């Protein structure tokens, strides 16, 4: 043991300096797919990998770093089959999350050449999914030396095939195991067996088929139902009464900290988390009284309640129904006569499921919470006022032009107007031909009015209508002729003025109070949608040119033209 232990920062600096570039690490992984398999034992893997390193004279890095390795040996308890399905695309790269924290750090340092290689027991201890397989193979092709105590892969086509087969069987084995578990659970649920932890009042002794009554808690659970059915007890009264009777909830362990998750296997005794039984709360009593399992039923394969063979009923169906009626009577819906005037109310929505972020005040701070549906993947379901206003300030600032965009807009406006003028001249020639044809039709109509009436080709009414139609077409063509590039320049100037105003608004927004920020936001945006850290928006009418960053818009003549052709930059989200 060192007299002066070094800090983690000092050890990492030594790694990055190249101190261990000629040494190897040993990686051991305990699988959660097969806990009874001997190869899942960290101790067994350490022994075999150490023997292999000694036999082949492979130098192991003397590296001890809390949360990563001990004497060059990295041990991790994690499934190698499950992989994150979320993909991120940026700058021509595809990124996905590695769920194993120690494995992630291992491959990161191997890719930078801080270690010469790594020793695994066999391929399925390194990976059991295609994503991690790809990472390992890319590292091997880049020169990282990967050794396997139970296999040798020659640098030939036969060696590559051997590696492919091992990787395929490792992944297939986990798929088969997972499929067997799913089928077993489905069949047991169909038989009425409780495949999950039974609620408080039953003993969970490790067997799905037999969950006996808890001799201490079950009688008190029954009395809770009986007392509440009388209508004389509130949930808070029952919580206090149950506590006085010595009733506690089922013992549970707290969540492990990050340090405990990364701890070595031999530290399990020191880090054993004690199960704690806590007294019931108001919400605990409410959940107990609403739990249909106490009638001796469990959820079947199709989500329907079926008779359970794992445990017996604590209360009768009649008593359970009476309690539900009492609970329904106690339900009270809050209807506000006057809605509290919180800023940004009904403005921010979840970008994935569309649920609104509802404002509420806690300890003087305005928060916004969204009750997203279960399938919603939005990780940011609760935000505060400072977070959302900072995002909105960035949007407002991003709507205005940069100096580069203004210069490009001026340069391209002249080009676009010249293009439009040439196009307009062509359209005017077409219009002149149309007007000439209309005048000829009017002249013919006036010269032959009497003949057309006598022959019955036209009635007096139809002649008047036709004359009115031709005159209207002629007037419309005259109006189009009067349009010029002046309207186009005026439109561009108005957009520039709006951009300058928004620059000033962005400065004022930073120092505005909450009601003023709310007013500014509602003036510019009609809706805001949030997903994680990304805030998207819909502008109100008049601001669309700024949001679209000058995508092609309609010209004054109604034709689609590339007036605003400056593309690219959108406001920062």
pLDDT digits (tens, 9 = 90+) for 52-86: 888 889 999 999 888 888 888 888 877 655 565 66
Q: Measured between alpha carbons, how far is 152 from 155 in angstroms, rounded to an integer?
A: 10
Judge whether 8-174 and 217-330 match in fold.
no
More confident of the two residues 512 and 270:
512
Average pLDDT over residues 120-147: 85
pLDDT digits (tens, 9 = 90+) for 167-194: 777 777 777 877 888 888 888 888 888 8
Average pLDDT over residues 472-476: 76
Count of H helices and E strands in the chain?
18, 16
Q: What does the CA dihedral 77, 81, 87, 92 come to, rounded to 10 degrees? A: 100
CATH architecture classification, 8-174: 3-Layer(aba) Sandwich (3.40)
Q: Which of 108, 107, 113, 103 is nearest to 17 (CA)?
A: 113
DSSP state for residue 6 in the 8-state scheme: P
Contacts of 208 (CB under 8 A, 6+ apart): 188, 193, 194, 195, 310
DSSP string, 56-98: TTPPBP---BTTTBBTTEEEEE--SS-----EEEETTEEEE--
DSSP state for residue 525 in the 8-state scheme: E
Domain 217-330 has CATH 1.10.1740.10: no
Q: Which two tokens stand for residue 141?
A: 């092709």
More confident of the two residues 188 and 444:
188
pLDDT band at 385 (very low <50, low <70, confident <90, very high): very high
Residue 46 scores a pLDDT above 80: yes
133 burial (CB, 10 Å; 0-12 / 13-18 / 19+) is buried
Q: Kindly report which listed range (47-51, 416-420, 557-561) carries the lowest average pLDDT score.
A: 557-561
pLDDT digits (tens, 9 = 90+) for 293-302: 999 999 888 8
Would you state the pLDDT for residue 485? 46
pLDDT digits (tens, 9 = 90+) for 234-248: 898 999 999 999 999
pTM confidence score: 0.46
Region of 558 please: left (phi>0), alpha (psi -120 to 50) or beta.
left
Would you state the pLDDT for residue 128? 73
Judged by DSSP in three states, 269 sits in coil
Q: Which of 400, 566, 395 is nearest to 498 (CA)?
A: 400
Going from N- to C-terminal start, the domains of the chain cover 8-174, 217-330, 339-419+486-573
Q: Measured between alpha carbons, how far is 550 from 513 in angstroms, rounded to an integer?
A: 32
Neighbours of 560 (CB within 10 A): 9
Would you state the pLDDT for residue 556? 40
More confident of the two residues 413 and 561:
413
């Amino acid at each position: 043991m060192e007299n002066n232990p070094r800090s983690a920062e000092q050890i990492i600096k030594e790694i990055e300096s190249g101190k261990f570039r000629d040494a190897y690490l040993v990686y051991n992984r305990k699988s959660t797919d097969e806990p009874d398999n001997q190869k899942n034992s960290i101790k067994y893997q350490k022994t075999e990998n150490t023997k292999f390193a000694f036999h082949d004279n492979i130098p192991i890095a003397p590296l001890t770093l809390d949360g990563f390795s001990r004497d060059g040996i990295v041990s991790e308890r994690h499934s190698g089959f499950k992989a994150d399905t979320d993909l991120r695309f940026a700058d021509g790269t595809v990124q996905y999350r590695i769920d194993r924290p120690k494995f992630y750090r291992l491959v990161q340092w191997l890719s930078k050449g801080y270690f010469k290689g790594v020793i695994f027991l066999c391929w399925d201890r390194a990976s059991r999914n295609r994503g991690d397989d790809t990472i390992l193979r890319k590292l091997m092709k880049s020169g990282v030396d990967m050794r396997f105590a139970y296999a040798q892969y020659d640098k030939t086509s036969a060696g590559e095939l051997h590696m492919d087969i091992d990787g395929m069987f490792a992944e297939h084995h986990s798929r088969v195991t997972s499929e067997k578990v799913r089928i077993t659970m489905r069949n047991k649920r169909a038989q009425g067996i409780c495949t999950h932890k039974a609620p408080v009042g039953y003993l969970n002794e490790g067997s799905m088929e037999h969950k006996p009554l808890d001799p201490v808690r079950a009688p008190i659970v029954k009395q809770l139902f009986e007392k509440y059915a009388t209508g004389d007890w509130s949930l808070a009264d029952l919580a206090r009464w149950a506590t006085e009777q010595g009733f506690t909830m089922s013992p549970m362990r707290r969540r492990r900290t990050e340090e405990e998750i990364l701890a070595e296997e031999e530290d399990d005794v020191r880090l054993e988390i004690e199960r704690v039984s806590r007294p019931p709360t108001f919400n605990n009593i409410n959940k107990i009284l609403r739990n249909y399992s106490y009638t001796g039923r469990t959820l079947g394969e199709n989500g329907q309640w079926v008779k359970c063979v794992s445990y017996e009923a604590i209360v009768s169906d009649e008593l359970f129904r009476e309690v539900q009626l009492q609970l329904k009577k106690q339900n009270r819906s809050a209807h506000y006569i006057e809605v509290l005037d919180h800023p940004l109310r009904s403005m921010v929505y979840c970008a994935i499921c569309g649920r609104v972020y509802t404002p509420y005040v806690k300890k003087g701070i305005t928060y916004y919470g969204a009750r997203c549906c279960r399938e919603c993947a939005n990780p940011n379901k609760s935000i505060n006022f400072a977070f959302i206003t900072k995002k909105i300030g960035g949007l407002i600032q991003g709507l205005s032009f940069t100096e580069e965009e203004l210069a490009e807009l001026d340069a391209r406006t002249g080009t676009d107007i010249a293009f439009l003028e040439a196009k307009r001249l062509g359209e005017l020639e077409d219009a002149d031909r149309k007007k000439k044809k209309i005048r000829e039709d009017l002249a013919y109509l006036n010269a032959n009015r009497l003949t057309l009436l006598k022959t019955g080709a036209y009635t007096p009414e139809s002649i008047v209508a036709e004359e009115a139609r031709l005159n209207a077409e002629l007037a419309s063509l005259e109006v189009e002729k009067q349009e010029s590039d002046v309207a186009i320049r005026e439109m561009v100037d108005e957009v520039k003025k709006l951009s300058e105003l928004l620059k000033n608004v962005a400065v004022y927004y930073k120092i505005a109070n909450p009601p003023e920020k709310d007013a500014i936001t509602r003036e510019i945006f009609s809706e805001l949608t949030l997903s994680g850290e990304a805030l998207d928006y819909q502008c109100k009418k008049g601001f669309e040119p700024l949001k679209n960053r000058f995508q092609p818009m309609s010209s004054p003549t109604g034709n689609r033209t590339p007036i605003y052709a400056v593309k690219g930059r959108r406001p920062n989200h």
